[in-house]
Structure 1
Amino acid sequence: MELYDSIIKNTIDLLSPYTPTSLAVSKDNAWPMGSLNELILKKDSKFELGGSYKPAVNYQCVTTLESFVKKDEILLYGKDLSEISTDVSFARLAFLQINNLEDDDTAYKAIKELEFIKYNMNLDGYMMRASTMDKREQVRIAKTAINSSISFESVGNAFINKYKENPLVKDVKIIFITSDMPIFKNLISNAEKVDKITLTLNHVLSNMNLDCHSCNLKSICDEVEGMRELHFKNSKTSN
């Protein structure tokens, strides 16, 4: 599954001028889950990641290349939760190394299942609000969570544990950004492209409009390595 590899590489290149803090990975140091659909009121929150109209973005990419995700890893660019006192810009990126899937339909279903994981992460005192329209992931942090020493290390471990409940996932790299980097526009563009790649994959596998000249997703097929080959393979199978 190489469809998202260009996005991963671009993200790595964008972050290359910056030095992250590497946080410890431990399945036993995961922030606990809270109640389903926990509501944290503004008066009960310490701050919001991506609040006050600051940039906030999230995307997830799968790959079969070990060189991109060699091991479970949590990287932080910027301040940790205990060091933040006001609303900040925020990004949470997830790169997943998965087993190579020969069946494309199975691969697509796996991608969608892994995407939905974030909607099941009901972390205690960590209220996520995701918008698929503008690719935002905004997080309200409760005062009680700060007082209980919540950190990106424990949050990252919770995400890794959840992802690895899926037997297809081998290794997970979680990246948190709380610094006002000038690359947020690029990250938002990447998030939009990830969605287009997944949409195009569904389009191809559904045998919808296999006429490249009239397809509004042709630019993705032309740009993304492996998509055109998948397209023609699927076209031959359907004939």
Structure 2
Amino acid sequence: MNKVAVVTGGNRGLGLAATRQLAELGYLTVIGSRDVNAGAGVAGAFRSEQLAVYASQLDISDSRSVDAFFEHVIEEYGRVDILLNSAGVYLEGAKGFREIDEATLLESINVNTIGAWRTCKAVAPHMIRQSYGRIVNVSSGWGALADMNANAAAYRISKAGLNALTRIVAADLAKYGDIKVNAVCPGWIRTRMGGADAELDADEAATHVVWAALFGENGPTGGFFKFRKSIAW
């Protein structure tokens, strides 16, 4: 039986790099892409390299889209071993809380926090049924309360929420077998979100995210990592 990984936002940036790495490790990897044509194009290019990558439409800001996506994945491929929550938004630049509007804050939370809640909730019954699963939430050190600052207010608030979600989901699913849920700060990455001046390329950063997706039975759950080391919440 194929091992199956799902990567949200897998058609570009960090998600794209992680998709390649998981597929090269032998996972049948499903890209969840809001733009279904972009996802299908990327998946087709991977399959031309003999990598088992497929794509389906997924808008993590819409519960109906999330439910339909996972119903399709289970119907087509039978299981989900890894969920990598890579899709996210960064809308406000360096603005502080007085400079952002309510719509920016709500959209940030809806995608970065509630979007991951939707995917975790949708995949949880399948991981519980198979008593196995790995969920990795791509977070940020900017969401750590231990190192909170004033800039990028909407992004920071949404990622702090994602960190809390990680701990909550990890504690809940640990009761049902070998299910690990962790958050990873991948660093500042040269992507459309991170910009050309960022420190890391997506391939290097993705290795640290994929690392957390491959934890063994004795590996941690409810952790927050950067460059494979625990960091403060």
Same structural fold, with TM-score higher than 0.5 when normalized by the shorter chain: no
In the superposition, the TM-score normalised over structure 1's length comes to 0.25
Higher strand share: 1
Higher helix share: 2
Tell me: higher relative CO, structure 1 or 2? Use CA pairs within 8 A at least 6 residues apart: 1
Larger Rg computed on CA atoms = 1
